[in-house]
Structure 1
Amino acid sequence: MSPTALLVPTFTQMLQSLSAWLDKAAAHEQASGAEPDDVLTKRLAADMFALAAQVRFTAFQAQEPVYRLRGDALPESLLDVRRAGWNADATPSSLRDAQTCIADARAFLAGLAPHALDEGAERPIALELPDGAVFDMTGEQYLRDWALPQFYFHAIAAYAILRNHGVALGKPDYVSHMFAYLRPGTMPQDR
């Protein structure tokens, strides 16, 4: 499977799910009498980023590999998404902002040509982390060992924060894209 064929649908599907989770979170907050945007301040542990940051990091991680595989520098607008994640505790945010961030990432992915990333599989990637660590790998190694795990880490953190906060999410919400493949008549409630 080519890098483009793997990443674009994978990231797009999970971003769609993340958007739906936030819709459920807003409804949950309203039903409980809370301000819907307050859910963005929730976190799993004191030393973890809050939901607002996890959403931004998920959107960032969906776009970063495109630039790395093409050999392009990350644009300032994408770096702003990452900075907004780092500063989410200090900068007020809203569910509308979070949904816009997700929608922008989805639109970016939708605009890619069918084989946009494929030539980057063998490209040398130097991944420099903010703490100074540098990892040297091929594009394929970067996708497998960094891009996909990082993306899913932040998406799953967002899911876990919402579940922990009482939002009614379950496995069908996490893998909602699978229902496109469901054999008719095989859902347990259909039997």
Structure 2
Amino acid sequence: MTPHDLLIPTWRNMLRALSGMTDKAATHEKGDALLAEKLADDMLPLSTQYRFVTNLPGEGLARLAGLDFTSRDDDPATFAEAKERISEALAMLDRVRPDDFLGAEEKFDMTLPIGMTFHLSAQDYARDWALPNFYFHTSTAYAIMRMNGVGLGKADLVPHMGAYVKAAG
């Protein structure tokens, strides 16, 4: 499986799931104030989870497919803005083709804002960095919403699994 084959469908599925969860959160009694909620005092709020989830695919595509992308450093202030960022991230996924990607074993350097640098292959980056971080922030967003009474269940996190349901009988 190539990094493209792994990342693009995964990012697309989870961004669509987050979009659906956002629709439910937008009707919550707290309204946009829900974006300030956290799981724990030392964690970042829901608004920042949206920023990270919508930045991570672009950061990955910049590293792996040469896409011109600049991460946003501001959090969405409303659920409508969060939905727009999700839509933008989904549209960005449509701009890359499999042959834009580095080969799975091609190595590159990834430097974090704190100055730490990793030397890893495209495959290692996809498996060990891009997906774990993306799932962490998507799941954290889900957990913050759920903890605050948004009517979410596991099916809201993985609605794409409905395509694989086998009929009884």
In the superposition, the TM-score normalised over structure 1's length comes to 0.82
Task: Report the alpha carbon displacement of residue 166 of structure 1 after superposing the two structures with TM.
Answer: 1.0
Alignment of 1:13-162 (within 5 A): 13-27=13-27, 29=28, 32=29, 34=30, 36-70=31-65, 72=66, 75=69, 78-79=70-71, 81=72, 83-84=73-74, 88=75, 93-117=77-101, 119-162=102-145
Question: What is the alpha-carbon root mean square deviation over aligned residues?
Answer: 1.7
Task: Report the alpha carbon displacement of residue 114 of structure 1 after superposing the two structures with TM.
Answer: 3.9
Per the alignment, residue 189 of structure 1 pairs with: none
The answer to whether the 8 A contact 1:69-1:121 is kept is no
State, as a whole percentage, how many aligned pairs show the same letter.
40
- Specify whether residues 140 and 164 from structure 1 end up closer, same or farther in structure 2 by C-alpha distance, changes over 3 A only: same
Which of 148, 158, 162 is the aligned partner of 1:175?
Answer: 158
* Number of matched pairs: 169
In the superposition, the TM-score normalised over structure 2's length comes to 0.92
Task: Report the alpha carbon displacement of residue 11 of structure 1 after superposing the two structures with TM.
Answer: 0.4
Query: Does 2:148 align with 1:165?
Result: yes
Question: Which has the larger Rg?
Answer: 1
